[in-house]
Amino acid sequence: MKAAEFRAKNDVDLVEAIEEARQELYNLRFQAAAGRLANDARVRLVRRDLARLLTIQREREIWAAFEAATAKKG
């Protein structure tokens, strides 16, 4: 998925997508260890999607902290 598609999600959906990506990555790693992984590239794609999701989540945390700090001053 593209980052813009992830940014369109609300916070609850974003957390669910992160958990799904982590679970999929765990399953892919398990398959790779067992020698049953059909598509090696899928691991890389899931890792990148997870990184995008975590980055967007962190951006939202930083923005919320900035807004809270700005609201206190003004």
Residue 55: alpha-carbon gap to chain centroid: 7
Q: What is the mean pLDDT of the chain?
A: 95
Instruction: Supply the pTM of this predicted model.
Output: 0.91
What is the pLDDT at residue 74?
A: 63
Please answer whether residues 59 and 4 qualify as being in contact, where contact means their C-beta atoms are separated by less than 8 angstroms.
Answer: no
* Domains detected in the chain: 3-73 (1.10.287.310)
What is the pLDDT at residue 37?
A: 94
Give residue-wise pLDDT tens across range 19-47: 999 999 999 999 999 999 999 999 999 99
Q: How confident is the model at residue 1 (pLDDT cuts 50, 70, 90)?
A: confident
Give residue-wise pLDDT tens across range 59-69: 999 999 999 99
